[in-house]
A and B are shown apart, each in its own frame.
Chain A
Amino acid sequence: MIEKNKSYGNILVNGILNENPIFRLALSMCPAVGISTNVMNGVLMGIAVLFVQFCSSLTISLVKNYIHPRIRIPTYTLTIATWVTVTDLVLAAFFPVAYKSLGIFVRLIVVFCFITMRLDVFARKNPVFPSLVDAVGMGFGFMLGMMAIGGVREIMGMGTLMGYDILGFRPLLFFVLPCSGFFVVGFMMAIFNYTENVYNRRKRARRLA
């Protein structure tokens, strides 16, 4: 358990930077490519993921001692599916306004591999509170990633940001199409890696000096 000597702040930032689900772990690329056509989608999807990740991490870290190690993955899937269904039903029944914009995103979450991964890597081995912090960090990391991709695609594809007209024209309609998601994610990953390289090089140089 490497995470034991880390502070809560470290765990939180870990999800956003070091282990960003989209740019560093390259997990759940399907929604990142398919849905991130504008910033608003990213925010809504992020909220939905944050909620489900939070609830699933809580459940798994509470019952971790009773899960048979051989069937842990089906158990995670079931947990996530249960929470997604519950969220979907409750939203549809009692928050119709939120459901209108969130509905389709909530149902997609069942197939998100990084939630399962987080349950297996973190929630299964750690107490309840660090698991929750990790869930929040991961959720925000995903939300910010989706917003970044969505922002680029929205500006480049439709000339708007958050629905407001900024450029007044459409630079490249291509960015709205699903295939452009791969390009944007790829470039952003490259930027992430480059920044990390530069950061590490400077750190090493400082240590040597």
Chain B
Amino acid sequence: MKEIVKITIGLTLTCLIAAGIMGGVFIITAKAKKHNEYLNFKENMLTLLGYNQTNPAPDSLQLCTVYRYLIYQGDKTALGYVLPVKAKDTHDIRYQFIRVNIQGQFIDQFDLNIDTAQSNDSNDREKAIASVLPKDVNQLIFADRFIVATNDNKRLAYLLPGKTPGFKTHINFMLALDSKYAIVGLQVLEHQEDPGLGAEIEQEYFKNQFTGKDSERLKTLKVIKEPIPDEQLKFLEKAKWANNAYSKNDIQTLQKKYQDKDICAITGATISSVAVLNGVKNVVTKFVYRVKILENIIAKQNISVAF
């Protein structure tokens, strides 16, 4: 009996010490970790927009995030959007929350009392939304977000983070669409596909095949099991281009030539290829549908959005 007590106390103490150490380190590092994740995400966005170290993003570049929420009120469901809006007197960005019903009709709008840093933090954001919503709302669930990149008040691109079930686990990716909803670029953020097989989805020769496909073409786009022609392969691997391998005209003609071609599957990784394609299709179709409704509401309600 004495032994049991001794063991129990010993084990409890060890656990408590271990928990204390881990908790302490977590508290110390939490802020820096979050910041790093945000920086990493931002870097991916800038890469998609075509900026890198040799070609840094201009100061006038603005990335506005729109968050979409699901609101459950009684037995009714509505959608909520957090929109960045221009402040009337200053150049600051304020945030508004609008409610839209399932049919796409505008319900009401609220001002959110948060700044940009707070809007990036999911806890602060949800607290602010909950404080303005009526009391009988049962549940507020974060659905997704998209980012609008603007430069000098011109829309450069829409950036859409997405997730799709791959061959092993989920594949996280980000898409860039231009103002006509055609794909500008695809970036695979996180995946655990097999190296040498499914992991090739990270490679340019696969990713860049999506460039130029618009939402109409995406509807019928499929994966074909054919090797990529040498000419196209060379064109797709942008990182390997020599300085003057292609003139602007060449790029345009080649882009046009392969614009409407289906996606060639990766050898030995058809499932991963199809998974990415389905994810892209899914994200783009839903986004195009939703953004049209949202644009409509913004125009009708005269909301001076920041993008």
Contact = CB atoms under 8 A, between A and B. Distances in A.
Contacts of B195: 37-38, 158, 176
Contact of A89 (B33, B40, B197, B268): B33
Contact size class for A?
A: 20 to 34
Contacts, number: 68
Contacts of B25: 85-86, 89-90
A68 B10 contact: yes
Instruction: Name A's interface SS.
Output: helix
A209 interface: no
A79 B26 CA distance: 16
B39 A173 contact: no
Contacts of A92: 29, 33, 36
A67 B283 CA distance: 55
Interface stretch (B13-21, B92-100, B155-163): B13-21
The residue in B10, B11, B14 that gathers the most chain A C-beta atoms within 10 A of its C-beta is B14
A75 B14 contact: yes
Interface residues of B, number: 26
A86 B36 contact: no
A164 interface: no
B40 A96 contact: yes
A81 B39 CA distance: 28
A45 to B, nearest CB: 14
Interface string A88-130: 0110111010011000000000000000000000000000000
B33 to A, nearest CB: 4
B205 to A, nearest CB: 15
Interface in B32-76: 32-33, 36, 39-40
10 contacts: A70-B3, A71-B7, A78-B18, A89-B25, A89-B26, A93-B32, A93-B36, A96-B36, A100-B40, A178-B194
Interface of B: 3, 6-7, 10-11, 14-15, 18, 21-22, 25-26, 28-33, 36, 39-40, 194-197, 268
